[in-house]
Amino acid sequence: MRKMDYYRFRLIKDYAARFIVYLSLTVALIPLFSILYEVVQKGISTINIDFFVNPTPTVGEKGGGAANAIQGTLITIGLASLIGIPIGLMSGVFLSEYSEHKLSVIVRFFNDVLSGIPSIVIGVFAYALIVRSIGFSVIAAAFALAIIMIPTVTRTTEEALKLVPLSLREAAIALGVPRWKTILTIVLRGAKKAVITGILLSIAKISGESAPVLVTMGYWRWWFAGLNRPAANLALNVFVFAVSPFENWIALAWGSALVLILLVLGINIAVKIFTRERY
């Protein structure tokens, strides 16, 4: 009889634990889905051909779109990636493959510090360094975003490379392959998927950054006009239009928010698909 009681007690504990886990999961997902619901519901009506073809409307103008903001965002992210990814990638390789080097402790420490700095502070830094000399511009914003992505790329690259077994490095070195070539061919190739995943996630992270863009890009509602000029930006569209008094501008803010979320979601889905196919 006592054995039965103990068994029932364990069953109850099992159900209670499961209930708490499911409840926590639901609580965690409610904000996500309510944001998605709200943005899709309010933004979907703005999404039409006009939205992807026309630039921002002027005051009083009907319709208009966010095509210039999509263009500006992609160019800014592209330039930031061009600066940030190589630096992050090479720092990650250095930390993983040359960890015996005296500098690596210092580099790892400052990389961690950098990843903890609020993005607005990095924005202000870019403002002091670049905006004050050449003005609000794509270059200044891309520079700030590149600095934000460097620590993420560095860390994920380092972790990815460390997962490549030492035995594979030794196999290549014992064949008389120089160390640098071993890293480029065997180590980076073995960690390719994890490295690219880290890069994609860092791109997703900077796509939605608004604070550093706000202090470096300035406001621009025309098409892209050069890297040393400002450009329109999806995150800034949300920031500027959401508080405007015009109905079509507010609608554009929701539309821009939706496109931004879809962009980040798309990158995340790409990561999932990319990491699934393994042999």
Partner 1 sequence: MAHKFEIENLNAWFGARQVLKNISMKIEENAVTAIIGPSGCGKTTFIRCLNRMHEITPGASVSGKVLFNGLNIYGNGVDPVMIRRKIGMVFQKPNPFPMMSIYDNVLAGLKLNGVKDKKILDVVAKQSLELANLWDEVKDDLNKSGASLSGGQQQRLCIARALAVNPEVLLMDEPCSALDPIATAKIETLIRKLAENYTVVIVTHNMQQAARVSDYIAFLYLGELIEYGQTKQIFENPKHELTERYLTGEFG
Distances (CA, A) of 51 to 55, 109, 253, 259, 270: 8, 45, 11, 10, 24
Among 27, 32, 100, 247, binds partner 1 (CB under 8 A): 100
Among 63, 118, 165, 266, binds partner 1 (CB under 8 A): 165
Q: Does 279 bind partner 1 (CB under 8 A)?
A: yes
* Nearer CB in complex with partner 1: 100/247: 100
Residues 211-250 that bind partner 1 (CB under 8 A): none
Contact 63, 246 (CB under 8 A): no
| CA–CA distance, 58 with 222 (Å, rounded to integer) | 10
* Nearer CB in complex with partner 1: 155/169: 169
Among 82, 170, 266, 269, binds partner 1 (CB under 8 A): 170
CB of 278 to partner 1, least distance (A): 11
Spell out, one character per residue from 120 to 159, where the chain touches partner 1: x when CB under 8 A holds, - when not. Answer: ----------------------------------------
Q: Does 107 bind partner 1 (CB under 8 A)?
A: no
| CA–CA distance, 247 with 270 (Å, rounded to integer) | 35
CB of 244 to partner 1, least distance (A): 53
Residues 173-202 that bind partner 1 (CB under 8 A): 173-179, 181-182, 185-186, 189-190
Tokens of 9: 């007690």
CB of 170 to partner 1, least distance (A): 7
Q: How many chain residues are in contact with partner 1, going by CB under 8 A?
A: 22
What residues make contact with partner 1 under the rule CB under 8 A? 99-100, 165, 167-168, 170-179, 181-182, 185-186, 189-190, 279
